[in-house]
Amino acid sequence: MAKGLLAGLKGHCPNRTTPCDFALYANATHLDDNQKLVPNVDITGTNVIRAFQITSFLALVAAFLLLMDYSYLIFHARYQPQSQTRRDHKKYKRIIHSIDTILHTFSDAALTAGIALAFATLLQSCDLSVYHYNIVCYMLLMAMITHTFAITNIPKWFSKNGWLGALRLAGILLTFCFTWLLYKSRDVKGFPMTASSAAIMPISCYITGDDSMLNSGYFETHNISTALLPQLSGSGSTTQFWGLLIPMTVSFVIGLIFLAVDSYSAFLEGRIGFFFRCGITFANLVVAGAATYFNNKLRTDQEIDAWYLSSKNNDYSFAQLMSLTLLASSVFPLISAFYQTIDGPRAADTQTKQIVKGLATDLKNDEAGVPLAQYSNGGGPDYSYPGYSGGYSGGYP
């Protein structure tokens, strides 16, 4: 199995279903149906791609909500008397304190899907086309962006369950290694990064090996001019390799350092930690946006009638439906969040203990019907600060 697993990435695939016919696929303008690229719906189907995209951008929303909550705690709420926080009793404010659970769910979904995708890609590496391989790399990049959102914005990663946190982190590191392996394998001269007929051929045709196209004597023995393939300059692959993977890697490594310090030290609590979180989140947002743009352009330009057999594109295969089902399972933690009390996992944060305690006290007094005059300050909460709209229905300043 190990031999078959990495054979394609080493270029040793003598029995490819699609031959490395350089003369046929270099700048081809007309191909027969049996020569065109057949959709691989089980790995790069439309719904599979959407599942990775939706997970990443929902994780971004969750991270943004946590940043909003964190900024509120450190820039406003922590400086107010406890009684002034009773306006936060609204359900949408309670949900904020369980958003980290939802972000964990998105990260877990990306973790299982990413590892499964990486193994499936390695097992099919002899026959997987360059075009589909590029899409796989994009989806793994989006999975890593989801993980970076999680490790950066979820407070006290190991506080709920240390063993579970360590297991999640080990899986994320494994996904990171797979992502680097697959990205680095295509960082070779001549690997098509943009739409072209040459992207129909298997990735193993471009990986250095005894029978690969990039073997030192291939072009000479087959009497083929390298001028037929414009991508042989390698600039496209190098640009996207360094332009997308490296920024994600830097953000991920900084996120790991942040996670370690945040879990075992109070150094990053407060404004320093907030600005670190904002910087890493914004950097990954830019990478995700750029990667999605390049991926959409690649799919639009590649899936044309001259090269792509779109009639075999089935959006309802088992793998496609399974990916959407797994994504839908993330809804359950969201529903649970609506019914979570304010005494959630965020109470473990040193800097929020006092605030959460005050909120819980106010809730108990509300349920018991305690008049405002019986509050500890004798006069009830003061809601006269800027931004309060009056009455019990106050909002953010």
pLDDT tens profile 158-189: 776 778 888 889 999 999 998 888 888 777 76
Q: Is the predicted pLDDT of residue 94 greater than 80, yes or no?
A: no
Over residues 264-268, mean pLDDT: 62
- Say if 135 falls within a structural domain: yes
CA distances 99 to 11, 85, 104, 342, Å, are 45, 19, 9, 12
Q: How far apart are CA 21 and CA 378, in angstroms?
A: 86
Over residues 206-213, mean pLDDT: 54
* Domain encompassing residue 123: 43-210+231-351
Q: What is the pLDDT of residue 354?
A: 46
- Say if 177 falls within a structural domain: yes
Over residues 360-380, mean pLDDT: 49
Over residues 147-152, mean pLDDT: 90
- Say if 247 falls within a structural domain: yes
Torsional sign, CA 72, 247, 287, 101: negative
Residue range 211-238, pLDDT digits in tens: 444 443 444 444 444 444 444 444 444 5
- Say if 241 falls within a structural domain: yes
The rounded mean pLDDT for the chain is 69
End-to-end CA distance of the chain: 60
Q: Is the predicted pLDDT of residue 201 greater than 50, yes or no?
A: yes
With bands split at pLDDT 50, 70 and 90, how would you rate the model's confidence at 127?
confident
- Say if 33 falls within a structural domain: no
- Say if 15 falls within a structural domain: no
With bands split at pLDDT 50, 70 and 90, how would you rate the model's confidence at 144?
very high
Over residues 238-264, mean pLDDT: 77
3-state secondary structure of 308: strand
**Can you name the residues that pair with 308 across neighbouring β-strands?**
37
Kindly state the greatest CA–CA separation across the chain: 94
Over residues 48-68, mean pLDDT: 86
Q: What is the pLDDT of residue 228?
A: 44
Asked whether 218 and 212 are in contact (CB, 8 A), the reply is yes
Type of residue found at 346? R
- Say if 298 falls within a structural domain: yes
Over residues 144-168, mean pLDDT: 83
Q: Is the predicted pLDDT of residue 387 greater than 60, yes or no?
A: no
Over residues 313-331, mean pLDDT: 67
263/369: higher pLDDT:
263
- Say if 383 falls within a structural domain: no
Q: How far apart are CA 389 and CA 356, in angstroms?
A: 22
Asked whether 338 and 59 are in contact (CB, 8 A), the reply is no
Instruction: Look at 47-61, 147-161, 341-355 and tell me which has the smallest mean pLDDT.
Output: 341-355
* Structural domain count, the chain: 1
